[in-house]
Amino acid sequence: MTDEVLFSVEGATARIRLNRPKAIHALNKAMCDAMIERLIAWRADPAIRLVMIDHAEGRGFCAGGDIRMIAESGAKDGVDARAFFHSEYRLNHLLFTYAKPVIAFMDGITMGGGVGISQPARYRVATDRTTYAMPESGIGLFPDVGGGWYLSRLPGRTGQFLALTGARLDGAECVALGLASHYVPAEKLDALKVALAADPANVEATLAAAAETPPPARIEGNRETIDRLFAADTLEGVIAALQADGGEWAQKELATLATKSPTTCKVSLRLLAQGRDHVDFADEMRVEYGVAAHVCQRHDFIEGVRALIIDKDNQPKWDPATPEGVSDHVIDQIFAPLPADEQWTPVQF
């Protein structure tokens, strides 16, 4: 077991607390494996009626995954990177299919891997400190951990907008889009957790009593614009619409898209298009694992991590550098199924 995740049981309530504050609780394989082991044990324990997931300290719930390790592995044989994704996606799927109620507290930074362990929860609590995003296209990755499932089911073209731009949402916006089920001021979380642990049989009533009406959601004012300008199913179509609009908002989003990997932007759009049609979350995880296994060894991911995380020059050199340079054949290769003995599999009971 790793001390980067803390586990406890208070009466009938089990608790998972991420405990890697210097990395804003970014997930590694040991953390994922430890959570899977405990969730399996609690699943079979009739005394456990509720599971809560939060973070022990620091300024965010979970900033993502261990990107540096994944890139270092991808630059070599990719074995460790694939092992991490396999465990992480098993954790995502286990939470998605978990029979007992799970509450995730999306307090502070909730990105990438943090989205993956909060969105499957039956109850998702956002706060006035929540910063939610799937910013993977900026490092040559794609919105994984179920992003193809969750983002494709958001209203209108909001999911495509978030996947391509990596736009950050606050707690009120998360509630408005259904990414969070409740809005509770951060200062009230400790009291809420005590109340939940004391009465796990009445989760909904306890949450309802603590929840407040969030402030107006800024994204609601942009919904019509997003639906119109991100309506195209191709990256070139989105860019053309933004260019034709010419307004201040469109120009800002154009500038944002210019910093993203054209390859993984196209991967993201295909992922969402396919994700809409999946009826089983395991199918989503199988597809995403295959894509991740390919993408983690491609130039754009290794270069994106170098530019934004290692050297921090924020000047990634994407290859191809333009959307037109990314052929359908390249995207087909990235989505090509893995051999049967290398595919992702869920936890077996």
CA angle centred on 285, ends 284 and 287, rounded to 5°:
65
Which listed residue (60, 64, 65, 108) is catalytic?
65
Active site annotation includes 190: no
Please state, in angstroms and rounded to a whole number, the distance separating the CA atoms of residues 325 and 300.
Answer: 13
CB-based burial label for 22 (10 Å; 0-12, 13-18, 19+): exposed
Tell me, letter by letter, the H, E, C secondary structure of 261-308. Answer: CHHHHHHHHHHHHHHCCCCCHHHHHHHHHHHHHHHCCCHHHHHHHHHH
Residue 346, amino acid: P
Active site annotation includes 136: yes
Which listed residue (113, 138, 140, 171) is catalytic?
113
Q: 50: part of which helix (H) or strand (E)?
A: strand 50-55
Pairing of strands 13-18, 60-62: unpaired
Active site annotation includes 113: yes
Which listed residue (66, 88, 144, 170) is catalytic?
144
Active site annotation includes 283: no
Tokens of 73: 């592995």
Which listed residue (33, 66, 136, 284) is catalytic?
136
Residues forming the active site: 65, 113, 136, 144
